[in-house]
Amino acid sequence: MENNKRIWIIGLAVLALVGIVYFVARAAKHAVSSVGESASGGGSALPGTASALASSLSSAGFPLRPGTPYGSYGREVLYVQAYLNKYTGRNLSLDGKYGPLTLEAVVANFYDPESRQPLKEISKEFYDQTFKPFESKLNEYLSTK
């Protein structure tokens, strides 16, 4: 009798653990798919125009950087993506997410002014000098996307 009770308790504990693992994995998969950068590299990831997305995004905070697993997310990243698309011929998703494709484009196109090494993250000073002067033109560009 004591062994049967123990087996039932262990069985229920294993079942509960499997359920928890399933729901946590499902939630993590949903979070990654809603935050991760589109692998296609083109088009807007959200419905509506990219300019509507720009007005709805909050500030990303500096430095802008890729990260594990999500990276920076916000209006400034969207402007960096728009700049790269408009002025360097990239075809990044205009989603405001500093994912692997945005990182690749930043590394390929920008260098740290002091070290002359490829830039991987963007400081507020670099953003203000490089991208801020183009925000009005980028807003016009985003309104067409």
Flag whether 106 is in a domain.
Answer: yes
Residues 93 and 132 in one domain: yes
> How many of the other CB atoms lie within 10 Å of CB of 17?
10
pLDDT at 81: 92
Flag whether 42 is in a domain.
Answer: no
Nearest to 106 by CA among 80, 67, 140, 138: 80
Per residue in 37-73, pLDDT (tens digit) is 443 344 444 446 777 777 778 888 888 888 755 678 8
Percentage with pLDDT > 90 across the chain: 11
Residues 78, 95: Cα–Cα separation, whole Å:
6
Flag whether 125 is in a domain.
Answer: yes
Residues 73 and 10 in one domain: no
What does the buried/exposed string (b/e) look like for 64-73 if buried means 16 or more CB atoms within 10 Å of the residue's CB?
bbbeeeebbb
Residues 54 and 109 in one domain: yes
Strands (E) in 31-122, as ranges, are none
When pLDDT is averaged across residues 103-112 and rounded to a whole number, the result is 87
Residues 87 and 134 in one domain: yes
Per residue in 7-16, pLDDT (tens digit) is 878 877 777 6
- Domain range for 135: 50-143
Residues 14 and 56 in one domain: no
Q: How many domains does the chain have?
A: 2
pLDDT at 23: 58
Residues 73 and 116 in one domain: yes
Residues 79 and 124 in one domain: yes
Residues 10 and 67 in one domain: no
Flag whether 85 is in a domain.
Answer: yes
pTM above 0.95, yes or no: no
Q: Which residues contact 84 (CB under 8 A, 6 or more apart)?
A: 90, 92, 102, 105, 106, 109
pLDDT at 39: 39
Residues 144, 40: Cα–Cα separation, whole Å:
19
Residues 28 and 54 in one domain: no
Flag whether 61 is in a domain.
Answer: yes
